[in-house]
Amino acid sequence: MLKIQDIKGKYIANVLRSYGVLIALIIIIIITSIIETNFFTIGNFINIIRQVSIIGIVACGMTFVIISGAFDLSVGSIVSLSGVVAISTINNGGGEALAIIYALLIGVSVGFVNGILISLINGKMGEAFIITYGTQTVVAALALFASGGLFVAGRIKPGIYKSIGKGIVPIVIFIVIAIGMQFILTKTKFGRQMCFIGGNIEAAKMSGIRVVANRTAYFMISGLLAGFAGIVLTSRVISSNPAGGMGFELDAIAAVVVGGTSLLGGNGSIVKTVLGAIILGVMRNALNVLNITAYPQMMVTGVIIILSVSLDILNRKAKEKELANEKL
Amino acid sequence: MNEYVLEMKGITKTFPGVIALDNVSFGVKKGEVHALVGENGAGKSTLMKILNGVIKANSGEMYLDGTKTNISGVNDAQDKGLSIIFQEFNLINTLSVAENIFLGGLNRPKIVDWRNMRIKAQGLLKSLGFSFDVRRVVGELSTAEKQLVEIAKALSFNSKIIVMDEPTSSLTKSEEKMLFKIIKELKAKGVTIIYISHKLEEIFEICDTVTVLRDGKVIDVNPVSAITKDMIIEKMVGRTVDVEYPKRTILPGEKVMEVKNLYRTKILKNISFDLRKGEILGIAGLVGSGRTELAEAIFGAERFDKGNIKINGKVIKLRSTRDGKANSIGMVTEDRKETGLVLDFSVTNNITITNLNNVTSQRILNSRKEKDVAKRFIEELKIKTPSHKQEVVNLSGGNQQKVVLAKWLFSNADILILDEPTRGIDVGAKYEIYCLMNKLVAEGKSIIMISSELPEVLGMSDRILVMHEGEIKGELLGESASGEDVMQMIIN
Ligand SMILES: Nc1ncnc2c1ncn2[C@@H]1O[C@H](COP(=O)(O)OP(=O)(O)OP(=O)(O)O)[C@@H](O)[C@H]1O
Ligand SMILES: [Mg+2]
């Protein structure tokens, strides 16, 4: 017998599942605004989104990979290496265009290696984890090698490269990329096939989808965006750091998961990821404004990630129960 | 014997947009084998899910041995002597038989006494009249053996009532015999069995009573001795239906596909045949004879080592299923859950995936076109669903099968491979699918049909290839061949 309470409980659970992130964001904003008056200002928000945009770009690529049922841990080191190579290209007189091309090429190539390895062995989450962890390590080492392990100040003249990281340009780039990718995800054959592959890879294969090629493409897109994030990052700080992108992969995954895209694959949204990235940014900023130092900040971030993953797992359990019922 | 061991009274269950069960009363006597039949989506599985505490009814009462009972969940059901054997087994492939029997449930022991467990498992199997090494890993077992393990598991809970939901849908004839023997033995032990099946002949072989459900209502309860197959069908469907195989008038035309010396180590041995335009080519053989592997090779899902395939006279490259599709080949796979569908996607998204180009405008997916396509197939195949947006996981087994068919019909392939196309589909819908196949070949398409149901192959095919151990043993004409002919060829 259905009880009103059950219905209410379900309704609340549903609302929380669908809009939990947004609600959390609003709560953080309200509390911090009450405590600190200079938090709720347009200037501060632009600042936050600018800080978020680099991780956000990486997270958009990560979303594709996660929807297709995998993981990409290599993006952080791609950011580092592409930044190092771009800056040294410019410093050595190679020109901005070449610097950008090299950075993007690095991203695409690493993505290609990830993708082809994982898709050829028909790898799932676990294999993707191991393989991209491997490439992460290799690429990180390459970044150290290429830079001799040093910070390098960029001798960048005013121009395209310099303007990429300036003012609201990163924000605009981030938004354009996000809109484009959301469009690809929901409105194109490529996006639909991606969801299908993440939903049931065997069924995708037997539906005539080129699974290997498509999966490789998702990793290439993820790598490409990471390479691009390396450009934005170095352009902003006008220097390169061989460990500049360290930990970005986790922040990106956090943004995806906090946004509410399931690690189960098959479903997800770039819009959610953007929200997830912003929420993490707002939270960090709020902690800053509240004068909470870096280490507790890390702890809070960690707890939030664990909470979102747990929520995802709870959802997954509920889903599995449904699927189990279906077995009858 | 006249006592009801189980009574369900006034059970009603609704899902959004669906009344799955409408005031159903269902009674089962002790020690009988009670058949539960009905069309796809009639509510059979739902009723059994309620009985086993998997889902809760909106209203209704349940009595076990005459006392009112509430089942709070699957474990509670097990405690009360109820268990259910799923059509797709609930076993862990990497564990041994003994472990599966005793560790599967949530009420596993805290400390495992391996020796004792093995002895007990062996004992359970022996009580069913079988003995095989309980240390074997379940993944290596045949379907029938897995079923045996499921039954032993049910017995390990001391189940008094065991539900079997379409247990024979993936069994071979001989395995089926084995299952029936077990059922008879269980019955002799006083275990009550509720038996769901779309293969109505089976009911006359092993069941005592039959309850017919239609649209969530009980239409009829009868002792099997007082009813005929035709009567059951009429009650299921609500009208008389044809159960003959529909006739075709057109004759096969020119060759569209030629398969030459297809060879794959240990799996396919020099397979050669051709397929004509407008032809239905049946492939008969036992489970494991290489039929599915052959189909997958033709579709590009599995490689082959030697040989070639020509389409319209030209040798084609088949490196992937994409190549198969590009050559206008489609394949309805035998396992809808593993390879046919994405269960948590909508009916629409599952159907349109094979031909997304057809539902785009300017290369952008057009949801209105998608909706129209889905609605067309829902109507054409009578897929029972409250909406085209319903996730297929919520459809009944037979209706899911129809979605897989729809998906490949939409691909508009000229050559359709159907691997067990009517698995889990009710009698009425089967006839409709046969008519659909005839319509397709009349339009000039060609069909390769694999089926373990021999009458279906015999009744529908122009020609029949008989496969055994990866080899084509011979060819028969559909018109004149009999089941004996096929078996004879397999044995020779
Ligand atoms: N979880 C669910 N959500 C929504 N609708 C459901 C759900 N489970 C079952 N239904 C609907 O309830 C009806 C009865 O389904 P059920 O699975 O009991 O049919 P069935 O008699 O077992 O059919 P089949 O012979 O095809 O297996 C169907 O219309 C189905 O779509
Ligand atoms: Mg069913």
pLDDT digits (tens, 9 = 90+) for A161-187: 999 998 899 999 999 999 999 999 999
Cβ–ligand 1 distance for B428 under 6 Å, the answer no
**CB-based contact A206 B55, cutoff 8 Å:** no
pLDDT band at residue B109 under the 50/70/90 scheme: low
Site of tokens 């061949």: B481
Residue of chain B nearest A214, judged by CA positions: B322
| CATH number, domain containing residue B122 | 3.40.50.300
Q: Measured between alpha carbons, how far is A194 from A221 in angstroms, rounded to an integer?
A: 12
Question: At residue A37, does pLDDT exceed 70?
Answer: yes
The answer to whether B284 and B486 have CB atoms below 8 angstroms apart is yes
Question: At residue B185, does pLDDT exceed 50?
Answer: yes
Q: What is the pLDDT of residue A319?
A: 62
Residue ID of nearest Cα to ligand 1 atom 28:
B41
Q: What is the pLDDT of residue B88?
A: 66
Cβ–ligand 1 distance for B44 under 6 Å, the answer yes
pLDDT band at residue A316 under the 50/70/90 scheme: low
> For residue range B450-486, what is the model confidence (pLDDT) as tens digits?
998 888 999 999 999 999 999 999 999 988 888 889 8
Cβ–ligand 1 distance for B263 under 6 Å, the answer no
> In terms of domains, do B8 and B49 share one?
yes
Cβ–ligand 1 distance for B51 under 6 Å, the answer no
- What is the number of residues in chain B? 492
Is B244 within the bounds of a domain?
Answer: no
Say which of A186, A196, A328 has its CB closest to residue B342. A196
The C-alpha of A47 sits at a distance from chain B's nearest C-alpha, in angstroms, of: 35
User: In terms of pLDDT, which residue wins out, A298 or B315?
Assistant: B315
> In terms of domains, do B189 and B43 share one?
yes
Cβ–ligand 1 distance for B282 under 6 Å, the answer no
Record the tokens describing residue A85, joined without a space. 């190579």
Which of these, B277, B332, B283, B275, lies nearest to B442 by C-alpha position? Answer: B277
Give the mean model confidence (pLDDT) for residues A44-50. 89
> In terms of domains, do B137 and B10 share one?
yes
Give the mean model confidence (pLDDT) for residues B160-168. 90
**CB-based contact B393 A323, cutoff 8 Å:** yes
Question: At residue B172, does pLDDT exceed 90?
Answer: no
Which of these, A155, A128, A177, A146, lies nearest to A243 by C-alpha position? Answer: A146
Is B306 within the bounds of a domain?
Answer: yes
Question: Which residues is B37 bridged to in the sheet?
Answer: B212
pLDDT band at residue B104 under the 50/70/90 scheme: low
Reduced 3-state DSSP string for chain B: CCCEEEEEEEEEEEECCEEEEEEEEEEEECCCEEEEEECCCCCHHHHHHHHCCCCCCCEEEEEECCEEECCCCHHHHHHCCEEEECCCCCCCCCCEHHHHHHHCCCCCCCCCCHHHHHHHHHHHHHHCCCCCCCCCEHHHCCHHHHHHHHHHHHHHCCCCEEEEECCCCCCCHHHHHHHHHHHHHHHHCCCEEEEECCCHHHHHHHCCEEEEEECCEEEEEEEHHHCCHHHHHHHHHCCCCCCCCCCCCCCCCCEEEEEEEEEECCCEEEEEEEEECCCEEEEEECCCCCHHHHHHHHHCCCCCCEEEEEECCEECCCCCHHHHHHCCEEEECCCHHHHHCCCCCEHHHHHHHHHHHHHEECCEECHHHHHHHHHHHHHHCCCCCCCCCCEHHHCCHHHHHHHHHHHHHHHCCCEEEEECCCCCCCHHHHHHHHHHHHHHHHCCCEEEEECCCHHHHHHHCCEEEEEECCEEEEEEECCCCCHHHHHHHHHC
Question: At residue A79, does pLDDT exceed 80?
Answer: yes
> In terms of domains, do B229 and B140 share one?
yes
Q: Cα separations (Å) of A180 from A57, A187, A279?
A: 12, 10, 21
Instruction: Give the Å distance between the CA of B396 and the centre of ligand 2.
Output: 5
Record the tokens describing residue A110, joined without a space. 């690493």
The C-alpha of A259 sits at a distance from chain B's nearest C-alpha, in angstroms, of: 20
Least confident of B91-95, B356-360, B443-447, B455-459: B91-95
> In terms of domains, do B206 and B285 share one?
no
> In terms of domains, do B303 and B397 share one?
yes
Atom of ligand 1 nearest to the CA of B198: 25
Task: Say which CATH class A44-308 falls into.
Answer: mainly alpha
CB burial string A27-61: b at 16+ within 10 A, e below? ebbeebeeeeeebeeeebbeebbbbbbbbbbbbbb
Measured at the alpha carbon of residue A180, what is the angle toward residues A178 and A185, in degrees to the nearest 5? 90
| Among candidate residues B195, B210, B237, the one where a domain is terminated | B237
Residue ID of nearest Cα to ligand 1 atom 9:
B394
Q: What is the pLDDT of residue A212?
A: 95
Residues of B in contact with A200 (CB under 8 A): 338-339, 341-343
Residues of A in contact with B58 (CB under 8 A): 1-2
Is B91 within the bounds of a domain?
Answer: yes
Q: What is the pLDDT of residue A249?
A: 93
Question: At residue A306, does pLDDT exceed 90?
Answer: no
Q: What is the mean pLDDT of chain A?
A: 88
As a whole-number percent, the residues of chain B with pLDDT over 70 amount to 97
> Nearest bound ligand to CA B198?
1
> In terms of domains, do B155 and B282 share one?
no
Give the mean model confidence (pLDDT) for residues A268-272. 94
The C-alpha of A267 sits at a distance from chain B's nearest C-alpha, in angstroms, of: 9
Mutation target among B106, B353, B394, B405 for the A interface, most CBs of A within 10 A: B353
Is B246 within the bounds of a domain?
Answer: no
Mutation target among A212, A322, A327 for the B interface, most CBs of B within 10 A: A327
Q: Which amino acid is at B41?
A: G
The domain segmentation of chain A, as residue ranges, is: 44-308
Cβ–ligand 1 distance for B38 under 6 Å, the answer yes
Cβ–ligand 1 distance for B153 under 6 Å, the answer no
Record the tokens describing residue B67, joined without a space. 């006392």
> In terms of domains, do B230 and B284 share one?
no
As a whole-number percent, the residues of chain B with pLDDT over 90 amount to 58
> In terms of domains, do B480 and B364 share one?
yes
What value does the CA radius of gyration of chain B take, rounded to a whole number of Å?
A: 24
The burial of B232, by beta-carbon neighbours within 10 Å (0-12 exposed, 13-18 middle, 19 or more buried), is given as buried
The complex's ipTM?
0.87
> In terms of domains, do B182 and B112 share one?
yes
pLDDT band at residue B63 under the 50/70/90 scheme: very high
> For residue range B193-230, what is the model confidence (pLDDT) as tens digits?
999 999 999 999 999 999 999 999 999 999 999 999 98
Give the mean model confidence (pLDDT) for residues B418-432. 89
Least confident of A184-188, A273-277, B427-431: B427-431
Question: At residue A254, does pLDDT exceed 70?
Answer: yes
> For residue range A100-120, what is the model confidence (pLDDT) as tens digits?
999 999 999 999 999 999 999
> In terms of domains, do B218 and B360 share one?
no
The C-alpha of B86 sits at a distance from chain A's nearest C-alpha, in angstroms, of: 5
> In terms of domains, do B17 and B165 share one?
yes
Residue of chain A nearest B335, judged by CA positions: A203
Q: Which residue range is the domain that position B386 belongs to?
A: 255-491
Question: At residue A21, does pLDDT exceed 80?
Answer: no
Record the tokens describing residue B468, joined without a space. 């055994």
CB burial string B255-264: b at 16+ within 10 A, e below? bbbbbbebbb
The answer to whether A105 and A45 have CB atoms below 8 angstroms apart is no
- The answer to whether A327 faces chain B, any CB pair under 8 Å, is yes
pLDDT band at residue B105 under the 50/70/90 scheme: low
pLDDT band at residue B176 under the 50/70/90 scheme: confident
Q: Measured between alpha carbons, how far is B178 from B142 in angstroms, rounded to an integer?
A: 12
pLDDT band at residue A328 under the 50/70/90 scheme: very low
Is the whole model's pTM more than 0.90, yes or no?
A: no
| Among candidate residues B205, B237, B269, the one where a domain is terminated | B237
Count the domains in chain B: 2
Give the mean model confidence (pLDDT) for residues A27-56. 88
Mutation target among A67, A183, A207, A211 for the B interface, most CBs of B within 10 A: A207
Least confident of A138-142, B101-105, B169-173: B101-105
Q: Measured between alpha carbons, how far is A100 from A112 in angstroms, rounded to an integer?
A: 18
Which of these, B114, B111, B154, B107, lies nearest to B135 by C-alpha position? Answer: B114
Q: Measured between alpha carbons, how far is A67 from A61 in angstroms, rounded to an integer?
A: 10
Q: Measured between alpha carbons, how far is B149 from B89 in angstroms, rounded to an integer?
A: 10
Record the tokens describing residue B412, joined without a space. 């508009």
Say which of A1, A319, A327 has its CB closest to residue B344. A319
Atom of ligand 1 nearest to the CA of B40: 26
- What is the number of residues in chain A? 328
Q: Measured between alpha carbons, how far is A128 from A69 in angstroms, rounded to an integer?
A: 9
Cβ–ligand 1 distance for B395 under 6 Å, the answer yes
The answer to whether B273 and B257 have CB atoms below 8 angstroms apart is no
Task: Say whether A122 sits in a helix, a strand or coil.
Answer: coil
| Among candidate residues B237, B263, B298, the one where a domain is terminated | B237
Least confident of A129-138, A227-236, A244-253: A244-253
Give the mean model confidence (pLDDT) for residues B366-392. 95
Is B421 within the bounds of a domain?
Answer: yes
